[in-house]
Chain A
């Protein structure tokens, strides 16, 4: 079972920030928070990941709470092309870990004009 909880769907107006929440209350110290997205008829695409500090890249920002029990993915200026299913995944970076991803059902983000 996935270790994360996400709302099933969200809407966002084009040009506005999209804030996608994720709860991971049972996260352990070795586990990172990863975000992937899946646009219709494509494979999942990596967005960003972090451990405890906030992270930013060219696609998005990741805000992780101090207790690490939840996080928010922020798309600063959503476009219609950002319409997709967004998956929040926790993943252990330990050397014995195979790296397999355990997906939940994600959040379907609909960006509207």
Chain B
């Protein structure tokens, strides 16, 4: 079946611009995660949704970052006033359940470059 889909695969923007990154999870998965991966590092947790609500947003670096999941399926990560330090690969993962043991399935990521 279809996996987690992330669009666009690459995004180049200028410093100060606003960007939106989209994640289509596996159908029926209730849990959705966003991670950020800088070059040479492991992914870092940003935010977790259970259904429509953000159950844990402790990883968002500052208030320029925001994410939504209005219908409990597709999610959008929004970054305002982008900075060069925001350049990274943004990964989305989905999971079928709510408890900790459910396996997370990752998309290929969106590579964001802020010039």
Contact = CB atoms under 8 A, between A and B. Distances in A.
Determine if chain A interacts with chain B.
yes
Interface residues of B, number: 30
Contacts of B104: 44, 46, 99, 101
Chain B CB count within 10 A is highest, among A2, A95, A99, for: A99
B42 A104 contact: yes
Nearest to A34: B103
Interface string B89-115: 001010100111111111111000000
A105 B41 contact: yes
A52 B42 CA distance: 25
Contacts, number: 71
A106 B99 contact: no
A94 B43 contact: no
A91 B100 contact: yes
Given A99-B48, A99-B95, A100-B33, A46 B103 contact: yes
Contacts of B98: 99
Main secondary structure of the interface of A (DSSP, over half): loop
Nearest to B109: A43
A45 B20 CA distance: 25
B43 A97 contact: no
- In this complex, the interface size class of chain A, counting residues with CB under 8 Å from chain B, is 20 to 34
B21 interface: no
Contact of B93 (A42, A43, A49, A106): A43
B99 A100 contact: no
Interface string A69-92: 000000000000000010100011
B42 A93 contact: no
A96 B50 CA distance: 12
Interface of A: 2, 32, 41-46, 49, 85, 87, 91-95, 97-106
Given A2-B42, A91-B100, 8 more contacts: A42-B106, A44-B43, A44-B93, A49-B103, A94-B100, A95-B99, A99-B95, A104-B42
